[in-house]
Chains A and B, each alone.
Chain A
Amino acid sequence: MELTELKSAWQHVNISEKSVTDLQKMTKIANLPSIKKIRTKLIAEVIGLTLFSFIYYDWFDGDQKPLYANLLLLSSLLLYICNDIAGYMAVVRPVNGNNLKISIQSYLVRIKRLSVFSSVISFLYGISLIVFFTSVINFTQEKQLILVGIIIFLLTMIFSSISLWKKWIKSLKRQIKEFSIDD
């Protein structure tokens, strides 16, 4: 196949045309398969965490816990919700720039920032839960072992989340490198 044939094949591709109604449906975020998952997770987390912030004081004896434990839990909850929303906003808008190179570079910066915030805030949230529930406990050896188990579980979750972020960042870095002439 010569280049003229390639051009002709490209310019005369047969397509299954979509109707205006189908296209209109695609402009609604609720119909997007990839974003739908992120949105459902966001809504579930925000509702769950907001409910928890209202009931934790009565259900888990917040009045018997020290003030610092209550404040730490509430502030980390709030941070977690804010980060969730900020993350959603950053992920659903990958296009941001006058050309492909700038746009991907700016997306990479946003994703890197988000990965740091998400990891730190998730860690803080986990720690604040542990502090809250252990602040008035008399530790026995058994309870200490359970606590170590919980901390190991928390760290494993954080590390697996970091490795997912790393994969995404690596993929974006590769895209930027591909635009360099030496590649």
Chain B
Amino acid sequence: MIYMFCFYYELKKNDCMEKEFLKTIHGNQQIIYKVCRMYRDNKEDQEDLFQEIVYQLWKSYPTFKGESKVSSWLYRIALNTSIAVYRKANPIIDNYAEFPENMHPLEEVAVSENEERLFSALRKLNNAEKAVISLYLEDFNYQEIAEITGLSESNVGVKLNRIKNKLKILINE
């Protein structure tokens, strides 16, 4: 009887945790979306990565104790998954307009010119640079960026200056 109770209690607890998790992810899904768009060139790959990230977030959710900001945790797992997951190299395609309209039956969203120029430039950076600049653009301070990436605060500063200069050139290309 006691085992039945424990089993029921665990099920309820898991159910409760899942609801809480889904609420958190639903409210912060733009972070995952941006990371996917930055790390993958086409919508199909972005969609696959999105699913991969949500799964990894769910797996690491029990260890998220709420000591750090939700956005820090989300970025750490999302960036980590994007960098570590192995995939075959695809040719880099920067212009979304080149895709046939019926290639991706996913919902299309209006993309502003600035937004497209930004992501086009970001995709040309290396993976570590993408991680650092995305955190900076999200308004994380140097200490937070250092904690998420594993770089020292001074290295974050040096790297950021280099990336900003690189990005300026890439955007105005």
Binding site for B on A (CB under 8 A): 1, 3, 5-7, 9-11, 13-18, 20, 23-24, 26-29, 31-35, 93-95, 97-104, 107, 168, 171-172, 175, 178-179, 181, 183
Residues of B within 8 A of A181 (CB): 151, 155, 158-159
**Are B115 and A13 in contact, with the CB atoms below 8 A?**
yes
Other-chain contact of B114, A5, A20, A95 (Cβ < 8 Å): A5
**Are B84 and A1 in contact, with the CB atoms below 8 A?**
no
Which of chain B's residues 95-121 have a Cβ closer than 8 Å to chain A? 106-112, 114-115, 117-118
- Known pairs A1-B117, A9-B114, A16-B106; A23 contacts B25 (CB<8 A): yes
Q: Apart from A11-B138, A27-B54, A101-B149, list 11 A-B contacts with CB within 8 A.
A: A7-B139, A10-B34, A13-B33, A16-B109, A94-B80, A97-B150, A99-B149, A100-B128, A100-B149, A175-B128, A179-B151
Provide the bound-state CA to CA distance between A102 and B131, in Å.
14
Best-surrounded residue of A5, A99, A100, A168 (most CB of chain B within 10 A): A100
9 A–B contact pairs at CB < 8 A?
A13-B33, A15-B30, A31-B51, A34-B52, A95-B60, A98-B150, A102-B150, A178-B127, A179-B150
Question: From residue A113, how far is it (CB to closest CB) to chain B in Å?
Answer: 15
Provide the bound-state CA to CA distance between A93 and B80, in Å.
11
> Which B-chain residue is minimally distant from A27 (CB atoms)?
B58
Residues of B within 8 A of A29 (CB): 55
**Are A23 and B52 in contact, with the CB atoms below 8 A?**
no
Binding site for A on B (CB under 8 A): 18, 21-23, 25-26, 29-30, 33-34, 37, 48, 50-52, 54-56, 58-60, 76-77, 79-81, 83-87, 106-112, 114-115, 117-118, 126-129, 131, 134, 137-139, 147-151, 155, 158-159, 164, 167, 171-172
> Which A-chain residue is minimally distant from B172 (CB atoms)?
A1
- Known pairs A6-B118, A23-B54, A100-B149; A95 contacts B29 (CB<8 A): no
> Which A-chain residue is minimally distant from B38 (CB atoms)?
A10
> Which A-chain residue is minimally distant from B106 (CB atoms)?
A16
Other-chain contact of A104, B26, B83, B87 (Cβ < 8 Å): B83
